[in-house]
Amino acid sequence: MEDWAEIRRLHRAEGVPIREIARRLGVARNTVRAALAAQRPPRYERVGRGSLVDAVEGEIRGLLKEFPRMPATVIAERIGWGHSITILKDRVRVIRPEYVGIDPADRIVHHPGAVAQCDLWFPETRIPVGHGQVVVLPVLAMTLTYSRFISAVMLPSRQAGDLLAGMWQLISAWGAVSKTLVWDLESAIGKGRRVSAPAAAFAGVLATRIRLLPPRDPESKGVVERTNGFLETSFLPGRVFTSPTDFNQQLAGWLPRANDRLVRSTGARPNQAVAVDLAAMTPLPPLAPMVGLSTRVRLSRDYYVRVDTNDYSVDPRVIGRLVDVTATLNTVRVRCGGVLVAEHPRCWAHRVVLTDPTHVTLAKALRQAFTTNRLGREHATRHHDDGTTVMLRALPDYDTLFGVDFNPTPPVTPVTGHGPMVTQ
């Protein structure tokens, strides 16, 4: 490379003859002539030696023509490939676009206040949730696409009520909502192109819309996908969590530093650019949307209601009546006719029975009162309106009075011959 540059300088800038250049640099004159004729620096190019895949490329193309998305491992099995799978995969990767086609993704322009991308991140770290259980819990991540401002919170489940409760917690912290909330195909939010009823009601109250992305289209929400990777690599390593509350506290303490980073693609810091986002977003309504888990059941005799696989005790004085059960991310409340009859901290473990000792005491007192009343009714003396005692007679007395015999004695018929009398 250096000789090529020097030869061209000497000949074109200083007018040194080819013979003199060859003498000075110690190279052949033909080498000098070749360097002067070349318009680009010399580059070593290795001559291709071919590949073992060349012999079976026709079979590969035949399979891809009929089944464009057939995996390379299946192709190897069909053609009886007995060599390295790597070189076969490399060739399939080159050939496949000719049969599958090319689906380019346009560059998305993000405008202030227009879109917030939402997704669930599942950290590998198992979180202790009490009762001897450790589980993997989802984390709802929401990113404003213009400013790249990140918000996130851990949730107890992927049910619609919990997802909407998490969204409302993050959106209410912003103080405004974007024009569009973008979601992947999360079944609790919607399937296909149809948004679920709870999610549609949530969007209607906030005067926004939820857009569901088509399958296999991660580029459409690449901003929040990068957020998930950022959380995985920058927040999670080296941390130990004692509970979901501890996780959310550590996450809340880390997010201000994360939002102070300089984003290369925008050239700005999210905590500074978010002001432009918020100014273009829709203000929140005066009334909060209905979020969380809710159901109405008739309280059974065992005075427990079930919420997300867990059973919570209720005041037994409302047994047999309809009760309304609501569960936020942190609390389970039960009301009967608008009156609070039970309140428990929400348990994030599974298949746990949570009992309020007060309810047990009330149930015991109700059982004792019920037993006393029943025994009293059984031994009570009944009276007519005039005070005369009601006589209690045995039922056979009424049978005799009316000449009814429900157990008649069979007749005895004498039998002639030897032997005693027998009954037929």
CA 184, CA 207: separation in Å to the nearest integer?
Answer: 20
Report whether pLDDT(23) > 50: yes
Give per-residue pLDDT as tens, 51-110: 899 999 999 999 999 999 999 999 999 999 999 999 999 999 999 999 988 777 777 889
The structural domains of the chain, with segments of one domain joined by +, span 2-37, 52-100, 115-283, 293-360
Q: What are phi and psi of 186, to 5 degrees?
A: -95, 120
Give per-residue pLDDT as tens, 114-159: 999 999 999 999 999 999 999 999 999 999 999 999 999 999 999 9
CB atoms within 10 A of CB 107: 5
Instruction: Calculate what percentage of the chain has a pLDDT beyond 90.
Output: 68
Packing angle of the helix pair 57-66, 72-79 (nearest 10 deg):
120
Binned at pLDDT 50, 70 and 90, residue 377 comes out as confident
| Cross-strand bridge partners of residue 323 | 297
Do the beta carbons of residue 140 and residue 163 sit within 8 Å? yes
State the CATH architecture for 115-283: 2-Layer Sandwich (3.30)
- Rounded to two decimals, the pTM is 0.71
Report whether pLDDT(392) > 80: no
Residue 44, token pair as written in the block: 């070593």
CA 335, CA 312: separation in Å to the nearest integer?
Answer: 13
Q: Is 211 helix (H, G, I), strand (E, B) or coil?
A: strand
CA 360, CA 375: separation in Å to the nearest integer?
Answer: 23
Do the beta carbons of residue 162 and residue 293 sit within 8 Å? yes
More confident residue, 403 or 295: 295
